[in-house]
Amino acid sequence: MSQIPLLCDNTSAINLTKNPIQHSQTKHIEIHHHFIRNHVSNGDCVIQFVNSKNQLTDLFTKPFNKERFNFLRNELGIIDLKNIK
């Protein structure tokens, strides 16, 4: 079975998924974070660092200028139907 890659731009979050020790500062972490940690420890998925400027999912959560929006859209393979004749 192949591992599912999860791309993350937060090194602290990546470290929490790899460290099974519960720290007092992480008591507030919600259940779904523990779910991810369990899957990482079981080898079902692997967390990979991706630089913030290459985080394609930001397109769906943050406002951008036209150039940045178009770059991220193109990287995802989304086409602009207005430009197709």
Q: What is the pLDDT of residues 17-45, one digit of tens each?
A: 877 666 556 666 666 677 888 888 888 99
Tokens 């602009």, residue?
80
User: What's the pTM value of the predicted model, to 2 decimals?
Assistant: 0.60
Q: Tell me: do 10 and 40 sit in the same domain.
A: yes
Contact (CB, 8 A) for 9 and 55: yes
CA dihedral 35, 15, 71, 62 (to 10 degrees): 70
d(Cα 17, Cα 73) in Å, to the nearest integer? 29
Is it the case that residue 51 has pLDDT exceeding 80?
Answer: yes
> Residues 43, 74: one domain?
no
Query: Same structural domain for residues 31 and 68?
Result: no
Q: Are residues 80 and 56 in the same domain?
A: yes
